[in-house]
Structure 1
């Protein structure tokens, strides 16, 4: 049986080959041999997290023949140095998209589209290599992140407390801590390394800076607010003292 390999596999080498002694094959009257191996594939895919949680990704599986040309297989006789053509080997797909009979829905991802093609890789050095290109476009389901991350953070950020309240300083600090916690939760979901900075990370960073400025501004406002209250109280005391002294003088003059 021919051996297939998966490009960009998670491990160094991932072959699609049946290592058991008995390989199930289906042969019809036209001479077509059908081989259906069951293989668990682990593929490396590049992810663009810019629009998280509305991101979608295109993951392409490239399964190619190993030690076979695209149209034929050959055997080399070491004694006569003659290349003998044994049989022709073509890669044919019966469908333009994978069969999704056994596909089950995922709570975090939605399969948006799929495509399967047979292509040929020509390097110019080695003979042409045929491979199957299987493309899967998956889209994240954003409802969980909208209800558990964005909505609570926005709700806390838009709230405010009057200056007369004793929690004026404590509340912005609470908002700042909640934003930092939400940022940590988002970081745990996303990949550790990325070529781009997601928009939601930029939003949380800007919100963190605004929260820090809000805390500093609130402290300044409270200082000014309490200073004005102290000045007003001193003015009232002076006016009360002046009125009291003026009243005593009037009483003495009348008496």
Structure 2
């Protein structure tokens, strides 16, 4: 009995490597009509160009063309063994990479082309597969989205600006570490930037802008505290000098006569200090009011930008 013989062929088409392995069958089938059936096992390993713009919600389509480069259609006829629905169902049962990919359909078309003056049969299979995005959504998209929600929630924190700034900086560092740890999970492409890359970059930029806004608010609040703390020191020193001038010994009658005048001047100085104190409080309150208005306006703009970004991204990801 003749042993099965294996042969391997390699072909290169459009810079895509295709490796073919065939296993010849030692048996044939002879029917009463005189028709002889012979079948060989053919294993094809090929690669096709992938469009990663919608990663990880992408659907890839690859084509596999079978055509003889030697025999014309009169000498060799290429016909499909079954229809597309049967081929799709049987292939879905035999599909091995069920973890990340899902086989959607296998469509085929049979036609003839003119190849170097001869008509030759051509059988084209179009294979459509879809990526299962559950792993990427749980490990990557949801953590980054949670950081964005926490940054929005930080605007409602009632503590001081310093604590809010520390919280937002912690969020920025956390998303930076997450991007470094999960960068190996993302596909690398030089022709187009995937939407998931834009998703990460824009969220990182939004959190960075939020940190800058908090730093600016801290600067305004510090200016208000400085204006409120410097003025009482000057008023205290001037008031102590005035009190010392009235507590001096009255050596003559003229000093006794000038005492009421000095008391009136002291009361006038105190009134001026009170007016200055009110003015300084107004300045301090004005800085605080400006900081609160800026924080409110920035929050409205920030929330609107985040909402529009998520809507546009959802439309682009799920057209």
Q: Settle same-fold status: TM greater than 0.5.
A: yes
Per the alignment, residue 196 of structure 2 pairs with 200
Q: Deviation digits for residues 79-105 of structure 1, max 9, x if unmatched? A: xxxxxxxxxx21121212223242346
Equivalences for residues 32-47 of structure 1 within 5 A: 32-39=36-43, 41-47=44-50
Deviation of residue 180 (structure 1)?
4.3
Which runs of 5 or more residues in structure 2 are unaligned? 1-7, 249-258, 261-319
Normalized per residue, which structure has more helix?
A: 2
| Structure 1 unaligned spans of 5+ | 73-88
SS of corresponding position for 1:122: strand
2:208 corresponds, among 196, 212, 232, to: 212
1:107 aligns with 2:99: yes
1:226 equivalent to 2:229? Answer no
Corresponding residue for residue 137 of structure 1:
128
Is 2:113–2:120's contact at 8 Å kept on the other side of the alignment? yes
Q: Determine which structure has more spread, i.e. the larger CA radius of gyration.
A: 2
- Which residue pairs with 1:75 in the alignment? none
2:64 alignment partner in structure 1: 61
CA gap of 1:231–1:17, structure 2 versus 1, over 3 A, is same
Deviation readout 1:101-155 (Å, 9 max, x if unpaired): 42346121111111233233324x2423323212111111122222221221111
Output the aligned Cα RMSD.
Answer: 3.9
Q: Secondary structure at the match of 1:132?
A: strand
CA distance in structure 1 between the aligned counterparts of 2:240 and 2:31, rounded to whole angstroms = 118
| Residue matched to 1:94 | 81
Give the 3 Å change call, closer, same or farther, for CA 54–188 of structure 1 in structure 2.
Answer: same
Instruction: With a CA cutoff of 8 Å and minimum separation of 6, indicate the structure with the bigger relative contact order.
Output: 1
**Displacement, 1:181?**
4.8
Alignment check: 8 A CA contact 1:122 1:128 kept: yes
TM-score (norm 1): 0.71
**Closer/same/farther in 2, CA of residues 237 and 195 from structure 1, 3 Å limit:** same
Q: Does 1:120 align with 2:120?
A: no
Instruction: Please give the TM-score of this superposition, normalised by the length of structure 2.
Output: 0.58
- Residue 249 of structure 1 deviates from its aligned partner by 9.7
